[in-house]
Amino acid sequence: MINKIWKKWFSKNDAAGNAQPIVLERGDHCVSRKDISTNALKVLNRLHRANFEAFLVGGGVRDILLGLHPKDFDIATSATPEEIKKLFRNCRLIGRRFRLAHILFGREVIEVATFRANHSAPSDEGKQHASGMLLRDNVYGSLEDDAIRRDFTVNALYYSSDDFTVRDFTGGLADLKKRQLRLIGDPLTRYKEDPVRMLRAVRLATKLGLTIESQTAKPISKHASLMSHVSAARLWDESHKLLLAGHAKDTFAQLMNYQLLPYLLPATDKALKQSTDDQLLTFINAALDSTDQRTRQDKPVTPAFLYAVFLWQPLLDRQQELQQQGMSYNDAMHKAMGQVITEQAQYISIPKRFALVMRDIWSMQSRLENRNHKSFKLLEHPKFRAAYDFLVLRANADEQLNPVASWWTRFQEASGEGQRSMTEALKSKKPFRKRRNNRRRPSAKNRPQNKPT
């Protein structure tokens, strides 16, 4: 479809050159109201009736032009956040750094942003850190200004439900035809403004099957350290988009390729570099592949499982260090869990409810490995299935665990009588231990003496 669009645009604009924005009329593009959320159309139409400019923008337009089905629909408008709130009773204003309006329709949220402009001078509405990072970006402008402030050219495409046109100010249509992802403006400057754009470049290129344009890609590895300026809480939100969107395996590979992993998962990156074989990477890739499959099948996924995978080897390494210092296995494991999660939280903040799930998965591994006649009780644990899946993934990377994983697979499928037989068989295989005599031994004072006769 994009080739058809490009052909029509090129034939109509070749003589005019590239100085003017490209405007595709209704018959020259494939964006249709039937592909757009009904609630998004309601927002657009109400803004138009109130004499404000309003456009569908970003991924919604981009994905429809690529023949995909977008799930999120963002709107850009000339109305200020306060004016938007007056129009919609179901509006909630959020953010300080980027002031946004969220229009709530049950579970669906339509995000509406006011046209933004470049910062001509420091002000309360527009602040910038000495490093170049934007601390506040609420300087408002025109539609043309807003297009230049967008991150990638393919995200600066605007659709109007008023005249049904698609407008391109930055060459996004040409980049879609080339299947490339290109930043608007100087790449290093834009990355300094918001280092998360490096993650978005990786995520969008992987998700859409695009190639990151050479000048856009060049600064990423060299300036990956800019990620250290991003808050851990924000990176927690960004990690969901990276890892829970159905392309986690390919995205993880690109994070390693562009040297971004040390600033997201430093302990994992260190463990991978110290690994003498492919066992750890095989384990991680198997988990990422499994998560991708579940996402595509609309099955529930939790970031806790993936973070338990990422930090498993760092956990084992830390536990071994603590045991060498004289701690028992259980004490070392418990302390290592807390230390590894706390250290990771300095980079990507992990909420407590997910950290608790990670601990459950980890602590159950030794119980799953050391099967006994009471193993059936583990089936009642609320996190058994997650711990079992974790064990299976470990067995895929370490064949020594295959008998244990296979046993648990059969155990779950067996009948009640079959489970009893399997656990009794384990009991009979245990080495005999002399039963401890619990009677107190008499003290020397009360012990009978053998008197000479």
pLDDT in tens, 408-442: 999 999 998 898 888 888 876 644 343 344 444 44
Residue 271 in any domain: the answer is no
Residue 370 in any domain: the answer is no
- 74 DSSP β-pair partners: 57, 111
For the chain, the domain total comes to: 1
What are 86-99's pLDDT values in tens digits? Answer: 999 999 999 877 78
Catalytic: which of 146, 151, 269, 292? 151
Residue 317 in any domain: the answer is no
The Cα–Cα gap between 430 and 286 comes to 33
The Cα–Cα gap between 236 and 257 comes to 21
Residue 2 in any domain: the answer is yes
Q: Which domain CATH number covers 6? A: 3.30.460.10
Burial class (CB in 10 A: 0-12, 13-18, 19+), 17: exposed
What are 220-258's pLDDT values in tens digits? Answer: 999 999 999 999 999 999 999 999 999 999 999 999 999
Residue 173 in any domain: the answer is yes
Which of these, 341, 397, 394, lies nearest to 364 by C-alpha position?
Answer: 394
Mean pLDDT across the chain: 88
Residue 241 in any domain: the answer is no
pLDDT in tens, the chain (453 residues): 554 444 444 434 444 344 478 999 999 999 999 999 999 999 999 999 999 999 999 999 999 999 999 989 999 999 999 999 999 999 999 987 778 999 999 999 999 999 998 755 444 454 455 555 554 556 889 999 999 999 999 999 999 999 999 999 999 999 999 999 999 999 999 999 999 999 999 999 999 999 999 999 999 999 999 999 999 999 999 999 999 999 999 999 999 999 999 999 999 999 999 988 899 999 999 999 999 999 999 999 999 999 999 999 999 999 999 999 999 999 999 999 999 999 999 999 999 999 999 999 999 999 999 988 777 789 999 999 999 999 999 999 999 999 999 999 999 999 988 988 888 888 766 443 433 444 444 444 555 555 444
CB crowding 223-260: b at 16 or more within 10 Å, else e = bbebbeebeeeebbebbeebbbbbbbbbbbbbbbebbb
Residue 190 in any domain: the answer is no
Say if residues 123 and 152 touch (Cβ distance below 8 Å): no
Catalytic, 72? Answer: yes
Catalytic: which of 28, 35, 72, 360? 72
Residue 204 in any domain: the answer is no
Catalytic, 269? Answer: no
Cβ within 8 Å of residue 114, ≥6 positions away:
76, 77, 78, 79, 80, 81, 84, 99, 138, 140
Catalytic: which of 74, 146, 194, 269? 74
Q: Which domain holds residue 167?
A: 1-178
